[in-house]
Structure 1
Amino acid sequence: MNQNPTASNGANGTKVTVTLLGTGDAFASFGRSQAGYLIDAPAGRILMEAGPGLMQALKGGGISTDSFDLLLISHLHGDHFGGLPFLILDYMWETRRKKALTIAGPAKLEERTWTLVRTMFPHFELDQIKHKLKFVVLEPGSSTRLGKFKVSAIRSPHTKPDISLSLRVDGGGKSIVFSGDSGWNDELVDFSEGADLFLCECTYFESAHLKFHLNYPLLAANRDKFKVRRMVLTHLGREVLSREDEIALEMGYDGMKIKI
């Protein structure tokens, strides 16, 4: 059952809108786009994740690639940062950035991004765009002030030796938590406490033995542990989407807008 309750705006009346650009897994199950989330707040606009279909999602939705000054990446799998070369290409040839873009994520993000760009577009002169992109490393267990937002991170049990992150964005009196890709993690329960919105991955249903992703039976059994105002499932895989009539938790969908 796909629920969509109306969320209140909170005591301070500040309105924040989160647009789910892509809610699919790495396989784009059921034709869903891969990871992408847009946070619109009075303090600014944040793009979180940059899956391979990022440019189609942005331009299909009439969203300028120059309209956000902060981009958050949870980890270095292609379905979460593989759209960066096309975004950078756009900045070089189509949409000239007026201000610098901060790209924040785990260690090695900058190195892997430029390796990917050079692999896909080997003869481009990148010096013209490099000065417009500022990479920031988000350390697990730390909080970083980026513009008017506080971004916190913990390590998720998903990748080794590379670091993958769960992210929390606080700004304008609102809190948004994104699990990233993650196996079960008791720390995530504490990390998400009090969030206005918790975007939680739910890739599997039958394959509960896979410990590097969250699955629906586990989340359903432990939903009450998450003290959040609203929880929306994302990064949805074939097993979950094919059994949608059995899902009692709210599921996201591409293009969904959530007001908090």
Structure 2
Amino acid sequence: MEMSNVQVKIIGCGDAFGSGGRLNTCFYVNAGPVRFLVDCGATSLPGLKQHGINADDIDAIVISHFHGDHYGGVPFVLLDAAIHSRTKKMQVISPVGGQRRIAALLDLLYPGTEVLEKLDVEFLEYGANEVLNLEGWSLQAFDVLHSERALPHGLRIEVADKVIAYSGDTSWTDALFPLSADADLFICECNFFDLQVKGHLNYLELEKRLPEFSCKRMVLTHFDPQMLDMLDEVHVECLSDGIELFV
């Protein structure tokens, strides 16, 4: 059987609180000549190093929204790249304002340290529903329902003739259907088992809608302690840190 040419390494799939000792959200997509992170939470750099992934193995970082457990690791990845004299371009792709936010974080965390000045970083921004055509891959963002000030989006990525969809953090929204339509892999947040919390999904509400999805494979992520305790009751594939998916 021919092996897929797209691999997704789960660097971290935890919630903001590291429930169950899991790392913050960070998925490493290796599609041959194109290699990128989908989200880069605060714990991402040590997580990447656990798997032997260094700055030169990352061509781009895609950010779904501006919460620390989804983009707080970007300054550390960039600092590491600068210290190790990376010379090739890295793209950072985010909702509007990514360059300003990341520069401000670097100034707060490492004042007086030259990071962006030493790197070739291209900051790109996306808007909802537009398609961003990149070198060898493309990205489409969808509005989802989470903290509005964090500019939350779901992401639909096409690379190496495969489609990877990611919900980002969101309450239930019908936008999940076009976002994940016929996707080879749909990574869907499911923070809670039955709790109704604004800005996040729970498994019982998602389960009712499962027959309406057309994606080829759905996996769940971003679990709180109750969800972790109830995994035996969950009938959808669930992520854990360190596993590798073949798309």
Shorter-normalised TM-score: what interval? over 0.9
Question: 2: CA distance between counterparts of 1:172 and 1:231?
Answer: 19
Residues 125-136 of structure 1: pairs in structure 2 closer than 5 A: 125-126=114-115, 128-129=117-118, 131-136=119-124
- Per-residue CA deviation, residues 79-108 of structure 1 (Å, 9 max, x unaligned), is 001111111211221x22231101001111
Alignment match, 1:90: 80
Deviation at 1:127, TM superposition (A): 5.2
Alignment match, 1:3: none
Q: Does 1:253 align with 2:240?
A: yes
- Partner SS state of residue 55, structure 2: coil
- Per-residue CA deviation, residues 92-130 of structure 1 (Å, 9 max, x unaligned), is 21x22231101001111111111111111112134533x
Deviation at 1:32, TM superposition (A): 0.4
1:224 aligned to which of 200, 211, 234:
211
Aligned-pair identity (%): 33
Task: Verify the 8 A CA contact 2:67 2:150 in the aligned structure 1.
Answer: no
Alignment match, 1:203: 191
Task: Verify the 8 A CA contact 2:41 2:70 in the aligned structure 1.
Answer: yes
Q: Does 1:163 align with 2:151?
A: yes
1:30 aligned to which of 6, 20, 24:
20
Question: 1: CA distance between counterparts of 2:61 and 2:152?
Answer: 16
Instruction: Specify whether residues 33 and 101 from structure 1 end up closer, same or farther in structure 2 by C-alpha distance, changes over 3 A only.
Output: same
Deviation at 1:57, TM superposition (A): 0.9
TM-score if structure 2 supplies the norm length? 0.95
1:146 aligned to which of 100, 122, 134:
134
Question: 1: CA distance between counterparts of 2:32 and 2:46?
Answer: 25
Deviation at 1:42, TM superposition (A): 2.7
Task: Verify the 8 A CA contact 2:79 2:115 in the aligned structure 1.
Answer: no
Q: Does 1:47 align with 2:34?
A: no
Q: Does 1:243 align with 2:230?
A: yes
Alignment match, 1:76: 66
Question: 2: CA distance between counterparts of 1:127 and 1:257?
Answer: 31
Question: 1: CA distance between counterparts of 2:224 and 2:209?
Answer: 20
Higher RCO structure, 1 or 2 (CA under 8 Å, sep 6+): 1
Deviation at 1:64, TM superposition (A): 1.6
Question: 2: CA distance between counterparts of 1:184 and 1:151?
Answer: 22
Structure 2 residues not aligned, in runs of 5+ = none
Q: Does 1:19 align with 2:9?
A: yes
Amino acid in the other structure paired with 1:181: D
Amino acid in the other structure paired with 1:99: K
- Per-residue CA deviation, residues 182-214 of structure 1 (Å, 9 max, x unaligned), is 111101112210100000001012312x13101
- Per-residue CA deviation, residues 27-61 of structure 1 (Å, 9 max, x unaligned), is 11010011000111134111111111111111111
Amino acid in the other structure paired with 1:167: L
Task: Verify the 8 A CA contact 2:78 2:115 in the aligned structure 1.
Answer: no
Would you say how many aligned residue pairs link Structure 1 and Structure 2?
Answer: 247
Alignment match, 1:112: 101
Question: 2: CA distance between counterparts of 1:128 and 1:191?
Answer: 36
Could you say what the CA RMSD is over the residues aligned between the two structures, in angstroms?
Answer: 1.5
Alignment match, 1:212: 199
- Partner SS state of residue 119, structure 1: helix
Deviation at 1:169, TM superposition (A): 0.8
